[in-house]
Structures are given as structure tokens and as C-alpha cells.
Amino acid sequence: MCGIIGYVGTKDALPILVEGLKKLEYRGYDSSGVGLLCRDLPAGRQALLVVRKSKGKIRNLEELIRARRVPFARVGISHTRWATHGLPSDRNAHPHTDGKNRIAVVHNGIIENYHPLKESLKKQGCKFVSETDTEVIAHLVASFYRGDPAAAVQKALRRLKGAFALGIISSDHPDMLVAARVGSPLIIGVGDRENFIASDVPAILERTRRVVYLKDGQMAVLTKDKIEVMTFDGKKVPAKIDTVSFSVGSAQKDGYAHFMLKEIHEQPAVLAAMLAVRVKGGRLDLEGLTISDAVLARLRKVTIVACGTAYHAGLVGKYAMERWARLPVEVDTSSEFRYRDPIV
């Protein structure tokens, strides 16, 4: 899974972005990068879009930034990539930009129709430098751009097919960050004169506990003081702010070598806590299970779709259901399930 974090505010964006990427390392990655809008320039000049990206660990990106320093920036996007289209490389790492270095995009997911879009954009004169589907998004947004990044993103979104989460910035609008999602998760962090986007809560938990969970088919326009959420057709919807209750510690490794080891050691306590709310008076309470007994009795097969640790939990469920319920159970990786034409 890829990781995204974006920032718009009054502080130095670079350390916030790099710190956030480290909080998302548990998602797995093969390269990383940042894109920054540096606007402390002579009057009359647009912001300078600066991109730094590197194959390998985040420390490689940090070494690159130390070697090729960037100006101060209050707006930026960053990304950890897990290769889908194109090999792991500096060139294929995110962010990706359009031909004029005016639009930058970070992307989590897969654009299923990227190839016909790419061929169409090539005919319009677009030059591609990577093998990724993400670069198509940058050129597509640029092709619709007429001074309003949000409007250009809206038009581009209507052309995209697949599952994706996006963070987009434009050098013409150095105080704005645009986000959108379909299928892939993306949240907005609400701060004091600063706002964030992230793939997951741990990336921003030390900076804010107030979040907006973007829904499928929604996009957002963020400035340091304002968040506007809308559909891909431009219809504005209320930005419902939730407060995250879990601790920073639960989102960190807490001294363990990696998250898997932490999860293994936490299993006894987690299972006890889960059972505590389901076992009442010595009896199992399945309140909330909305599938009727009649439907359960008619089941002939169960398919569990999951990824990561949840995939392995699904395998445990498979063994239990096949042994005790005598039902055939199939466990599939979610990233592959929709593409392999499964028999269900």
C-alpha cells in the first residue's frame, strides 16, 4: 500500500511531511518523495514547485534533501510508493508533475484506464518521463487547467476509472491543496491555521485529533483556514469533523522491531478485550449481527477479502468455519480480488 501525507499551513512543511511518511512506513514501500510549493520569491513570480524523490528507504530521501536543499515552503505533498506500474526507481517515485512543472500529484491506488488516457495525452503533445499511471493524472489535470486547480481536478476525476486517493498542488495557487478519493482511503486532519491530508490517522495523530473522513466520490479543497468538501460534480457537502480517541502509542511500534511483532504480542490483550464485550453472563452475545438465521442456513460458500494482517486473520476464520460449520471458505487478497474475475 502507498502512503500519502499533505500539508497546508504556516509552518515549514518539509519536516512535517517527512515525519508523517515515517509514521506510514508500516504500509510498506519501495521509494518515497516530497513536492513543495516554495513561495518566498520576488514579487510577481509564481511559487516554485520543488520535487525530491528517491528509491529505497526514507533515509535515502532525507540524504537527498540534505544534499539538494529546498527553500522554505508552507504547502506540500509527500508519498511512499509500492510499485504497481513501473519498477521501483527514482523516476517512478512520486510526486509526478506535468510537462510545465506546474501541477504535482501523489496517488495511492490503480488507474485502470491509464493506457488509453496516456495515448490520448501523447497525441496532444504530452511527454512522459515515467512508467507510472500516476503521471497520467498530472498531465490530465494540466490539460483541463484554466487557472482553477479544483475545477481542473474535477474534470480529470470524471475521466479516471479505478480505485485511487489523490493529493494535488499547483504552483499557481501556493496556498491550496486538493484531495480526492475513490476506493482508497484518505482523511483530512483539521488543525489551527493548518490542515492535512493522509492515508491513515497515525501520520497526523501527534498534530491533530480532529479528522474528516472523505467518502467515496468526494474531493476537498484545503487552505490553512478552510476546508471545502464536494462531490466530483462540484456539489458541496458538509465536512463532518470527528475526534480520534485512540492513543499515539497504539499507532506506534512502542519499542518493537516492527508492527507485526507488536501485533503478535498484543493479541492476548486484544482478544480478551474483544471477548469482554461479546460474552455476557457466560453466554455469547452476537448483538449487531444483521444476517438472519435463515440466510446463514442457506450459505453454501464464504469468501473473505482482506489484506495485510487481516488476510492472515481471514485464514484463521477459514479454518474455523470449515471445521465447525463445514462451509467451503476462500480467502483472497483484496488488491487482486477485483482483477482476477473470481467465481463467487
Answer with the residue of higher pLDDT: 250 or 108.
108
Confidence of residue 41 (pLDDT cuts 50, 70, 90): low
Confidence of residue 44 (pLDDT cuts 50, 70, 90): very low
342 within some domain: no
Q: Answer yes or no: are the C-beta atoms of 197 and 188 closer than 8 Å.
A: yes
pLDDT attached to residue 342? 84
Give, in degrees to the nearest 5, the angle at Cα 342 between 340 and 344: 165
Which tens digit of pLDDT belongs to each residue from 210-249? Answer: 999 999 999 999 999 999 999 999 899 999 999 988 766 6
Residues 221 and 291 in one domain: no
Euclidean distance between CA atoms 129 and 226, whole angstroms:
35
Residues 287 and 239 in one domain: no
Q: What is the mean pLDDT of residues 180-195?
A: 95
Average pLDDT, the chain: 89
Beta partners for residue 80, in sequence order: 3, 32
Domain's final residue, options 200, 219, 250: 250
At 40, give phi and psi (nearest 5°). Answer: -80, 70
Residues 137 and 285 in one domain: no
Residues 246 and 269 in one domain: no
> b/e string for 103-130 if b means 16 or more Cβ within 10 A?
bbbbbbbbbeebeebbeebeeeebeeeb
Domain's final residue, options 250, 266, 297: 250
343 within some domain: no
Three-class DSSP category at 22: helix
What domain range is 305 assigned to?
253-337
Beta partners for residue 212, in sequence order: 188
Euclidean distance between CA atoms 303 and 300, whole angstroms:
10
Show Cβ contacts of residue 300 under 8 Å, excluding neighbours closer than 6 positions: 327, 328
Confidence of residue 87 (pLDDT cuts 50, 70, 90): confident
DSSP letters, 286-302, are: -TT--S-HHHHHH---E
Answer with the residue of higher pLDDT: 25 or 175.
175
- CATH code for the domain in which residue 123 is found: 3.60.20.10
The answer to whether residue 1 scores a pLDDT higher than 70 is no
Answer with the residue of higher pLDDT: 330 or 343.
330
317 within some domain: yes
pLDDT attached to residue 282? 78
184 within some domain: yes
- CATH code for the domain in which residue 318 is found: 3.40.50.10490
Residues 238 and 91 in one domain: yes
Percent of the chain's residues with pLDDT above 70: 95
Domain's final residue, options 250, 276, 292: 250
Confidence of residue 274 (pLDDT cuts 50, 70, 90): confident
Q: What is the mean pLDDT of residues 254-260?
A: 74
> b/e string for 286-303 if b means 16 or more Cβ within 10 A?
eeeeeeeeeeeeeeeebe
The answer to whether residue 10 scores a pLDDT higher than 90 is yes
pLDDT attached to residue 253? 66
Give me the amino acid identity at 219.
M
Residues 181 and 41 in one domain: yes
The reply to whether the predicted model has a pTM over 0.75 is yes
Helix axis angle, 149-157 to 134-144, nearest 10°:
120
Euclidean distance between CA atoms 311 and 82, whole angstroms:
18
